[in-house]
Amino acid sequence: MYGMNFTGQHRRARHINLGGRNATASSKDSVVRRAQFDRERREKARKEENAAIKIQSFYRSRKEVESIRHEIETQWNSSFLGSTELVIMSQPQLTNCLLQFNFFFKYTFSGSSTNEEQVKFILKILKNNIDQFQEKQIDAHLVVTLIDTLSTVLRPKTKSKQTTIIESAPKPIDADILYALELLQDFSSTGLLPTCGAYIQSITANHITLTAPNQYYNKNTKAITIVRDSLIKIISHQIESYSHAIDFFASFLSTPGLHVFFTSSQFLPYSNALKTFINKYSALDPSKAPVISQENLVWRLVNFYHFFGTLADQSLFYQTLNIFISPINIQIEPPSKTTTAKRLKKLSENPIFLLSTNDFVITKLNELTGRSFFTSIMDTLLGSPEFNLPLFSSIVTSLTSLYPIKKQQIVMFITLSPLAVIQQLWETIKSTSLCQMVLEKSPDKNTLARILLDEEPMPAGQVNGAQTVSLLSLFLDLYSYWLIVANDAEFHGTSTTHGLPKQNVKDLAQFLRNICFSLLWNASEISTDQKLNSLLNVAPLSVTNSCVLVMRQIYIRDSRRQFLPNDFWLMINNFQIEHFISSVVQEEEQLRRENEARNMEVDDELSDSDSDNEDDVEQESYRQSKISDSNPRSLGGIVPRLEILRQAPFFIPFDTRLKIFQEFIENLRAEEAATNPPTLNFFGLESRQTGVIRRDYLLEDAYTAFNKLGSDFRQPIAVRFSNEYGVEAGVGAGITKEFLTIISKTAFKPSPDNEYNMETKEGLFVSSGEHLLFPNPILGVSRKYTNLDHEEKLDANRYMVFLGKIIGKCLYENILVDVEFAPFFLQKWAAAGMGYRNSFDDLYSFDPELYENLIKLYNYPGNVEDLMLDFSINQEVGHGLKSVVELKPNGANIPVTNANRLEYIHAVANYKLNIVLHQQTSLFLQGLSVILPPRWLSMFNAREIQMLISGRPAAINIDDLRKNSVLINFEENDDTIKYFWEVVEELSDEDKSRFIKFVTSVPKAPLLGFEALNPHFAIRNAGPDEQRLPTSSTCINLIKLPAYKSKKILREKILNSIHADAGFELS
């Protein structure tokens, strides 16, 4: 409580200054500030008073004007509406009548019965006095004002910014207004077509849109009929002279729901205006072009196709169609029963996509992208004297961009047509300035801009920059599809109907190599050039992505069966390699820190969630999806060198990329040590996460001990093996290597019957005919067909993630393991995050017999239906059972024919290589990405990733091994050592690999030679007993060699040991 004293004095006590200074002088500054504050306050008050006076004056004057308008309206009504004699007026009477009408009508209009009478009277006097208008006795400005008055009230007034008053249907007053405008249309200098379009749009708003249900009016009502007839008369008059062609085609045709009011026969008479429109629109300044929303641009396209699709002059039709479709930069997707909630959410968040539920629009888009339309356009533009490839490519790329759901069908139809469109496109592209320059060298950004933005005059007949991009975009789409469907025999053939001859492929590879390097290396500069960037990279089209995709497809073909010169793909002459290495390491550090910040946000979200689900697979799947959503699709503008390593790693030599990979790991290890330093135990030794691993339960115990660590699995671990006698002796890095080596050998071991055994954990992986590993397809069979129960699948999923972590740990620790994966599986590692899908030719490494059978089907000369095949396949679904899996909806009832056999072949390959392996592959790569960022592996192709795992598949260099060896209790000049090196050198290549495996556990040399073997290869004296066999400790790369006195005995003992096929038992 505060104390309170009351003295009885209500006045404030005087302030006594005891400081000995003049109070006035001491407060001089405060007095000045006070005066200034008072002036500002008075000035503010004066301004507020003046503003209030102005506002009051405005509202008073407005109120007075409103009162005058109502007064004049009342006088006008009493003077004219009640009179039947003044229908025919003199010029002064008519002028006075219109002046008053213009003054009040659009301001007091409410759609009342009185307003209807007023409009009917105006219509009467227009009819009865039309000669005065036609002879221009009435002031033109007065007539124009009347047109504006009537046009204004024809459109609905808005209640607020959010809500629009929409009439349920046209009323008789609408027809009278339109009739009046029809009589006055000669006086409209700007044309009444936009007014008509706005009127139709107003009465159909919220009823006829791309995304609203189809709620059309009854087209046969009297009001609709009258309105339609009036509109047709206005349109006919306005278009006859073609003076308003741009308004008609650009604005009026963009009105939603025109098909409700008009028929094609009512529009076709105005098709002659198309030529005028094309000429005017081509010469129109883009900045002065009508501004039309994307949704209305779609309506303009479908309306034009609906009304003019049967035009006799098809060339003229396609030219106009191209003008209408080119500005559209959204993508329409029709509704589907299979559209998931996640997909709908993604569409709603992406401004490029629009989910349309309008039946009319979807029907017209289906027609525009149908077989019949493309047969017609190809016959007109490609198969006739009117050959126009640029126009064809522009229409096709725009259509496939607008309606991507039909893109694959369109691309397939064009690619496999007999017109050899791919070859025609490539020949045209080769003649362009861009291609001729790029074949010489990789251009810089300024050169690209100069050519593609037409900054230099071009020879007559030469395609411009935008046309070049359109031609290139279509060509890349078609050729990419052909590379997917063509087998290696077709690709390497001397001639082809649908693809490119071999020499053209070499030219194309050179073009793509140079242009891709330019686009990736100069990505930052290109992104700052708005015009160039919009031409090359703005969604929904991206020439950069398409170029990279096709280049990678050709590179994979060349890797599988070389047809290009050695070092063809290297681009090291375009930059300094040492500077590249240091710069790319810096870029990686920058990007990794940004990603780690995002990861922490996601982890915090997971830890704060209320979900009780503790399943690590689902948590990790969610985590990866969130991280994936937050990562940019392209890194080029931020980290161009990293983007080259991700998109086109073959530009850089393998050894250079290997050094970069190892530097990435070392930097990550150093950062881990700095941010998470090791703790010391009671004895001052580094404390590690320890796991006691029973040799009979390797995978289960390893999962229990280490899976929970997450990314901390990168940290050093301590492994203690145990057997029936207890915990084994030994600890340290050597035991860790032994653990990773034997668990890799055990965990990836296929089961005898290729079934997954939940007890032994065998069968997570199966092997191909070439004994190469890939995930067990049984684990990826959908719920509809699988015979595995939920617990079995969940158990397999957990261990699949963990195996990814094990391989990631091996790569992180630079420990080679003797595990070889199938190339088609490794390609998914190399393209993680890029949406890569294996193609038909990858099927050979999966199942050579199935591949050969499908090739025979492709080349079958007879009637394929005789083979009684359908779009289904027999699939093992678990526990020895098989099920018929449909490759497409109702596939079991769709026969394979000569026409669809190619679709069937690729459906089989897609199911075997992609669909049934998708879940297991994703889970495995999720685990791998916990240890290593996926983009690090994207620097390598499948063969190179296998070398990272198990070493370089080359002859063992014994000299290199000898230079990097260590002797323990031996001297270099000892006879045993001399005999040893002689014997090892004389071994066959196969036995040399066995020897290296005996010592290091892997039959291959390290990628950077034995100098990189850690620890170095060592030979230790095992004593004088010559009866003993040599033994090894693969965990420390050590051979324990008795001091043999005879070369013959030494050879015999070495061969016995390496052929014993024993592991740690000989240690």
1035 is catalytic: yes
**Backbone dihedral angles phi then psi of residue 672, each to the nearest 5 degrees:** -60, -45
Rg (CA), the chain: 40
- Amino acid letter, residue 497: T
Cis ω for the linkage preceding 649 (within 30 of 0):
no
Q: Which 3 state secondary structure label does DSSP give 680?
A: strand
The DSSP bridge partners found for residue 331 are 353
- Amino acid letter, residue 678: P
Distance CA 71, CA 644 (A): 77
Closest CA to 331 of 316, 314, 352, 309: 352
Q: Which 3 state secondary structure label does DSSP give 460?
A: coil
Q: Would the CA dihedral through 105, 108, 110, 114 be positive or negative?
A: negative
Distance CA 80, CA 1066 (A): 120
Vertex 309 angle, CA 304 and 310, to 5°: 140
CB contact at 8 A, 404 and 481: no
- Amino acid letter, residue 390: P
Q: What tokens appear for 499 in the block? A: 């693809």
Cis ω for the linkage preceding 953 (within 30 of 0):
no
Residues 97, 547, 810, 1035: which is the catalytic one?
1035
**What order do you get walking across the sheet with 689-694 strand by strand?**
689-694, 717-723, 726-727
Closest CA to 234 of 197, 273, 282, 275: 197
**Backbone dihedral angles phi then psi of residue 719, each to the nearest 5 degrees:** -115, 130
| Alpha helices (runs of H) in 419-459, residue ranges in sequence order | 421-430, 433-438, 445-452
Closest CA to 995 of 980, 1013, 976: 980
Closest CA to 567 of 508, 655, 441, 490: 655
CA dihedral 556, 557, 562, 568 (to 10 degrees): -60
CB contact at 8 A, 526 and 445: yes
Distance CA 293, CA 853 (A): 53
CB contact at 8 A, 271 and 308: yes
How many Cα atoms within 13 Å fall on the side-chain side of residue 20? 0
CB contact at 8 A, 230 and 176: no
Taking residue 730's Cβ as centre, other Cβ atoms within 10 Å add up to 14
Closest CA to 751 of 880, 916, 893, 576: 880
Q: What tokens appear for 850 in the block? A: 């199935």
First to last CA, the chain: 86
- Amino acid letter, residue 725: Y
| Alpha helices (runs of H) in 637-756, residue ranges in sequence order | 640-647, 654-675, 698-706, 733-747
Which residues are the active-site residues?
A: 1035
